[in-house]
Amino acid sequence: MVLNPSQGVVDLFTSPNIQFSLDREGEEPIYRQLIRHIKTQIDSGVLPTGTRLPASRDLAQHLNISRISVVNAYAELRAEGYLSAHAGRGTFVAKDNGGSSSPPEKSPTQPDLTNATPDRSLREMMRLARQPGIINFGPGAPPIELLPTQFLKEAINAVIDRDGAKALGYEMTEGYGPLRTAVRDYVTALGIQCSASDVLITGGTQQALDLVIQALVSEGETIVTEAPTYIGMIDIIQTRRIQAQGVATDEEGIRLDHLENYLIEHAPKLIYVMPTYQNPTGMVMPLHRRRQLINLAVEYNTPILEDAVYHEFRFEGDSIPPLKALDESGIVIHASGFTKMLLPGIRIGYLIANGTHYNRLVRVKQAADISTPGLNQRTIHWMLERGVMAQQLERNNREFKRRRDIALAAAKKYLPAGTKWKTPEGGLYLWVTLPRNGPTAAELYISAIQVGVGYAIGNVFYPQNPDNFTIRLNYGAHRPAEIEEGFRRLGATWRELAAEYAEIEKSPLL
Amino acid sequence: MATIEHIIPYRFSSEGQHLKRSVMRELLKRASEPDVISLAGGLPDSDLLPTAAYQACLNEVIAHEGGRALQYRPQYEPLRAWIGGWMRGRGVDCDDDQVMITNGNQQGLTILSKLFLEPGEPAAIEAITFTGVQQVTVGRDAHIHPIPVDLTTGADTDAIERIFAQYQPRLAVIIPDFHNPLGVSLTDEKRRLIAAMAGEYGVPVVEDDPYSALRFYGEALPPIRAYDRSDYVFYLGSFSKMLAPGLRLGWMIAPRELVSRITTIRESIDLESSALTQRAVYQFVSNGQLEPHLAQMNAENRVRCEAMLSALDQHLGSIAHWTKPDGGLFVWLTLPEAINTWDLLPRAIDEQRVAYIPGSAFSVSGGHHNTMRLNFSNGKPDLIVRGVARLADVIRAAL
Ligand SMILES: Cc1ncc(COP(=O)(O)O)c(C=O)c1O
Ligand SMILES: Cc1ncc(COP(=O)(O)O)c(C=O)c1O
């Protein structure tokens, strides 16, 4: 059976040769011991090339150690080339130790994942922070305590009482008519000129982005993104097997000189940007650069996908119109949603696009999932009609500003000297560059999580050439006391690790 | 009529198809005028949807979970477990963690097409099939090998074997129960054969099953997946017809090895299904409300189906033949060669005020000009009887 590449696989649990004697009391961290044991067994040929190792959860259970120890050990062994990960199939011994067996074959029904999926171990690692007790600044969610639960309840009941079973039938692929009109009204207030027939309702902003990629970019073709960029776009890029070129950013967003060079040389299919409160950096592109960007796109006839999910998360600074508001030629496709702004779990997003783009997008949407849940669309429509969102944004932004201030104060107080960040004027995130004389973001993560604080490792946001010292902290999702305590833990952990590193560097190489 | 979009067939490739599509769209718009009897629908009657019960479930969830039901959330474990139990009850050997929540079967089809099929590669689909199946295969420029379908026993397994052996399709799609548009169900023996062939030839077979719970005659048959020992059958189930289509909620049973890969694809497509919807549906099923709902709906569908079949007997018995479904929503009507159901549709709507879907709309490689799909779930029996009578008038006039 090809989906199960088990021929020649050594069972790590039952093989009599396998002995893990872990010293639980000792100085050496468990994951280090595990690394040592596995290396020894690979080098000695006990674990030949191609052997599948147990899933981290299973091994952790078997050895009665924490899962993070196993994940860290595997991650390190992968980095050193001892192991290789094959998404969907597991972790295998990769080291060529002159042994007999070859690496596991690609099975016929398995898509070839080795070149499509870069190492996801950092992503896996970040999942480990999802445990009770950890102050996790990693995920991009808005805070649960601010969600308009009561309004939602009222809206849902009002809609069902009004529409009955109609609210539970298939909706038109383009979306519920009155919601499309309400979206038109809403974006018109942001300066975007469009009609309701330019509005396509989607399953969250994520689907909006994916539909645009499907409609405009074929496998193997290239798009341009900011570097760093939204992680969900990196997922799309991998799933759709397209190429992405990250273009450097400065204080004002994507660098147009670099972008133009790239447009000239590689004629990419699309430019993906988040002009306002960019995820993860929090940057805002000023008006003049927005205009220049559009001019460039028009000149090279390359559509822009504008992701505006954070556009209204403004608590300081001037309001700057979205790209789509400045677009006279229909080259900008505008994506956003009522998720971050209002209710993530109701999954309503939208696209604003013109003519030919629009028709293709509708066709792709229909093949993707026919339509977006009608009740959810009608519920959001009801809330928009009653001004719930405006109210919600105001309340959120007031609270985010307060939390931002607390985060900045805590950063100053606790994070090591030499840490850099830009003060965000909106959005949820603080983007931090750690001093380079200490641990990298990934190294720090392992220890941080053990003292109960998590964050997003900056590397995951880069299409290529990551900066190993960057981290993203979602201050918006946490109450002030948690922010303070989380930053304190983070700073303390950094200092501890940095001291250890200094120690190692000072000791003579023998 | 909200269903127009959903039932309009279209393909990506040819301009001609687009033209046909817009013509059809126009026609069906007229078909939604109040005095037109529509046999063109594809849904349970909205009067039979458990709207009030579902509303109560929503309220319960909001009361108990508040904001947690409205946040970004992982798939809802209790719902996965319930579905796991439902599938095991149908003879499928699977664990709860092989259940992946989707936004309906259309999304399941899209995900699996993305996973296995590249443009230009071979795919096997039934020669007459739901347009959404065509979208994820024909629409992705696959090289299509149509599987003939027998109108009483379902997909032709000899043909499947030939196609699998000769072309090694990267993907096959079969609708096991109460086929859309044919109304036919696969025999038990054919299910066993298809499961075996999937493993033997290494062809991923997608079992697209939105209708099996809509049975009103006979004994339920196990899905193909129940006979699968090789992990090559991918089962797709949906709450669209069991509960309500607008929920956009369904599931996939995936091999353990592929769960994390499929999760990655799903997250890139639209992150997740509505947390609130998952919880409310779980509330509904775990309250034990699904079985009575299905019993009531199926009993009603049975009466409507019988009404349609006897009206067909009465009005078209001498010149046509049709499938006799044990459940689902559709009857497939085959008329004399001289009839072209595309050409007839404008007259049917304009003159006799009755609508249907021409069979060729579902045909993968053309032909079938003398066939049509009729839906019996959307109106009360007397309306259906009148609809069939009008239809017979149009047909007889054209002969
Ligand atoms: C920049 C950006 N775009 C899109 C999304 C997707 O959001 P949703 O699909 O919930 O609307 C997110 C969520 O993190 C985001 O940060
Ligand atoms: C055979 C078939 N597959 C899939 C679907 C789509 O179902 P869902 O609403 O679960 O996406 C339909 C809907 O009519 C169908 O008939």
Q: Test B204 with A149 for CB contact under 8 angstroms.
A: no
pLDDT digits (tens, 9 = 90+) for A101-115: 333 333 434 443 333
- pLDDT tops 50 at residue A264: yes
Range of lowest pLDDT (A16-25, A205-214, B218-227, B232-241): A16-25
Closest CA in chain A for residue B259:
A88
CA dihedral B258, B261, B264, B266 (to 10 degrees): -40
Percent of chain A with pLDDT over 70: 88
Under DSSP, the state recorded for A302 is -
A48 neighbors A7 (Cβ within 8 angstroms): no
- The number of the ligand nearest the C-alpha atom of A429 reads 1
CA dihedral B374, B380, B383, B387 (to 10 degrees): 0
Closest CA in chain A for residue B229:
A1
- pLDDT tops 50 at residue A382: yes
Q: Categorize the per-residue pLDDT at A38 as very low, low, confident or very high, splitting at 50, 70 and 90.
A: confident
The total number of residues shown for chain B amounts to: 399
B63-89 mean pLDDT: 96
Range of lowest pLDDT (A208-212, B43-47, B235-239, B333-337): B43-47
The reply to whether B225 and B159 lie within a common domain is: yes
Residue type, A205: T
The reply to whether B198 and B321 lie within a common domain is: no
Q: Test A373 with B232 for CB contact under 8 angstroms.
A: no
- pLDDT tops 50 at residue A282: yes
Q: Categorize the per-residue pLDDT at A116 as very low, low, confident or very high, splitting at 50, 70 and 90.
A: very low
Tokens representing residue A8 in the block? 């020649």
Is B66 part of a structural domain of the chain? Answer: no
Which residues sit opposite A474 in a β-bridge? A429
- Residues A234 and A225: their CA atoms lie apart, in Å, by 9
B54 touches chain A (CB under 8 A): yes
Other C-beta atoms lying within 10 Å of the C-beta of residue A36: 12
- The number of the ligand nearest the C-alpha atom of A313 reads 1
Is B168 part of a structural domain of the chain? Answer: yes
- Of A438, A404, A401, A403, the residue nearest A419 (C-alpha): A438
Residue type, B225: R
Contacts of B344-350 with C-beta under 8 Å, sequence gap 24+, read B344/B394, B344/B395, B344/B398, B345/B24, B345/B27, B346/B27, B347/B394, B347/B398, B348/B390, B348/B391, B348/B394, B349/B27, B349/B30, B349/B31, B349/B36, B350/B30
Under DSSP, the state recorded for A28 is S
Whether residue B238 has its Cβ less than 6 Å from ligand 2: yes
A468-484 mean pLDDT: 97
pLDDT at A67: 66
A384-398 mean pLDDT: 96
pLDDT at A46: 80
Q: Categorize the per-residue pLDDT at B186 as very low, low, confident or very high, splitting at 50, 70 and 90.
A: very high
Whether residue B328 has its Cβ less than 6 Å from ligand 2: no
Q: Categorize the per-residue pLDDT at A74 as very low, low, confident or very high, splitting at 50, 70 and 90.
A: confident
Average per-residue pLDDT for chain A: 87
3-state secondary structure of A263: helix
Whether residue A396 has its Cβ less than 6 Å from ligand 1: no
A85-108 mean pLDDT: 52
pLDDT at A92: 82
Percent of chain B with pLDDT over 90: 87
- The number of the ligand nearest the C-alpha atom of B106 reads 2
Which ipTM did the prediction report?
0.91
Ligand 1 centroid – CA A159 distance (Å)? 26
Whether residue A267 has its Cβ less than 6 Å from ligand 2: no
- pLDDT tops 70 at residue B22: no
Ligand 1 centroid – CA A233 distance (Å)? 9
- Of B148, B147, B146, B144, the residue nearest B123 (C-alpha): B144
Q: Please give, one letter per residue, the 3-state secondary structure of A452-501.
A: CEECEEHHHHCCCCCCCCEEEEECCCCCHHHHHHHHHHHHHHHHHHHHHH
pLDDT at B262: 94
Tokens 């930053």 appear where?
A487
Ligand 1 centroid – CA B41 distance (Å)? 36
Ligand 2 centroid – CA B328 distance (Å)? 12
A387: exposed, middle or buried (Cβ count in 10 Å: 0-12, 13-18, 19+)? exposed
Domain coordinates in residue numbering, chain A: 1-110, 135-140+394-505, 149-386
Domain boundary (B240, B271, B302) is at B271
Is B361 part of a structural domain of the chain? Answer: yes
Q: Test B3 with A236 for CB contact under 8 angstroms.
A: no
pLDDT at A87: 46
Is B280 part of a structural domain of the chain? Answer: no
The reply to whether B234 and B343 lie within a common domain is: no
Is B61 part of a structural domain of the chain? Answer: no
B397 Cα to chain A: minimum distance (Å): 35
pLDDT at A508: 66
Average per-residue pLDDT for chain B: 92
Under DSSP, the state recorded for A98 is S
pLDDT at A117: 40
3-state secondary structure of A232: helix
pLDDT at A10: 39
The reply to whether B197 and B344 lie within a common domain is: no
A496-508 mean pLDDT: 79
Q: Closest ligand 1 atom, CA of B270?
A: 9
B194-223 mean pLDDT: 96
- Cβ pairs A/B, distance under 8 A: 211
Cα separations in angstroms, A505 against A419, A471, A501, B172: 21, 24, 6, 59
Which of B274, B279, B283, B284 to mutate: most A Cβ within 10 Å? Answer: B274
Residues 6 or more apart whose Cβ sits within 8 Å of residue B72: A139, A141, A344, A345, B271, B272, B275
A64-83 mean pLDDT: 75
What is the residue with the minimal CA distance to atom 14 of ligand 2?
Answer: B42
The gap from C-alpha B52 to its chain's centroid, in whole angstroms, comes to: 25
- pLDDT tops 50 at residue B16: no
The reply to whether B229 and B361 lie within a common domain is: no
User: Which chain A residues have a beta carbon less than 8 Å from that of B47?
Assistant: 165
Residue B128's domain comprises 75-271
pLDDT at B350: 92
Q: Test B2 with A375 for CB contact under 8 angstroms.
A: no
Q: Closest ligand 2 atom, CA of B6?
A: 14
pLDDT at A509: 62
First to last CA, chain A: 51
Q: Which is higher by pLDDT, A10 or A189?
A: A189
Which of A20-24, B89-93, B138-142 has the largest mean confidence?
A: B89-93
The reply to whether B91 and B235 lie within a common domain is: yes
The reply to whether B208 and B263 lie within a common domain is: yes
Q: CATH code at B125?
A: 3.40.640.10
B68 touches chain A (CB under 8 A): yes
- pLDDT tops 70 at residue B276: yes
Residues 6 or more apart whose Cβ sits within 8 Å of residue B186: B153, B154, B155, B174, B176, B177, B194, B221, B224
- pLDDT tops 60 at residue A8: no
- pLDDT tops 70 at residue B398: yes
Tokens 């000791």 appear where?
A507
CATH says A149-386 is which class? alpha beta
Q: Report the number of distinct structural domains present in chain B.
A: 2
Q: Test A239 with B265 for CB contact under 8 angstroms.
A: yes
Other C-beta atoms lying within 10 Å of the C-beta of residue A258: 17
Which residues sit opposite A223 in a β-bridge? A244, A270
Range of lowest pLDDT (A452-461, B27-36, B47-56, B186-195): B27-36
Closest CA in chain B for residue A164:
B51
Q: Categorize the per-residue pLDDT at A272 as very low, low, confident or very high, splitting at 50, 70 and 90.
A: very high
Q: Could you say which of B2, B119, B170 has the minimum Cβ distance to residue A170?
A: B2
Ligand 2 centroid – CA B109 distance (Å)? 9
Question: Residue A455 region, left (φ>0) first, then alpha (ψ -120 to 50), else beta?
Answer: beta
Q: Test A169 with B51 for CB contact under 8 angstroms.
A: no
B62 touches chain A (CB under 8 A): yes
Is B339 part of a structural domain of the chain? Answer: yes
B340-355 mean pLDDT: 94
pLDDT at A68: 64
Q: Test A376 with B67 for CB contact under 8 angstroms.
A: no
Question: According to the CATH classification, is domain A135-140+394-505 in 3.90.1150.10?
Answer: yes
B249 Cα to chain A: minimum distance (Å): 9
B131-159 mean pLDDT: 95
Cα-trace Rg, chain B = 21
Q: CATH code at B394?
A: 3.90.1150.10
Tokens 């927005």 appear where?
A290
Which of B72, B73, B101, B205 to mutate: most A Cβ within 10 Å? Answer: B72
3-state secondary structure of A295: helix
Is B367 part of a structural domain of the chain? Answer: yes
The reply to whether B145 and B210 lie within a common domain is: yes
Ligand 1 centroid – CA A307 distance (Å)? 8
The reply to whether B35 and B94 lie within a common domain is: no
Is B356 part of a structural domain of the chain? Answer: yes
Question: According to the CATH classification, is domain A1-110 in 3.40.50.720?
Answer: no
pLDDT at A394: 96
- Residues B73 and B65: their CA atoms lie apart, in Å, by 12
The reply to whether B314 and B238 lie within a common domain is: no
Whether residue B240 has its Cβ less than 6 Å from ligand 2: yes
B126 neighbors B147 (Cβ within 8 angstroms): yes
- pLDDT tops 70 at residue A332: yes
pLDDT at B7: 37
Residue A167: CA count within 13 A, CB half-sphere: 24
Please state the pTM of the whole predicted model. Answer: 0.85
pLDDT digits (tens, 9 = 90+) for A285-303: 999 999 999 999 999 999 9
- pLDDT tops 60 at residue A1: no
CA dihedral A314, A316, A319, A322 (to 10 degrees): -40
Q: Test B3 with A373 for CB contact under 8 angstroms.
A: no
The reply to whether B243 and B106 lie within a common domain is: yes
B257 touches chain A (CB under 8 A): yes
pLDDT at B98: 97
Residue type, B306: E
Q: Closest ligand 2 atom, CA of B130?
A: 1
pLDDT at B15: 41
Residue from B7, B103, B105, B111 to probe ligand 2 pocket by mutation (most atoms less than 8 Å from CB)? B105
Q: Test B67 with A144 for CB contact under 8 angstroms.
A: yes
The reply to whether B26 and B175 lie within a common domain is: no
Q: Categorize the per-residue pLDDT at A345 as very low, low, confident or very high, splitting at 50, 70 and 90.
A: very high
- Of A217, A340, A309, the residue nearest A271 (C-alpha): A217
B202 neighbors B168 (Cβ within 8 angstroms): yes
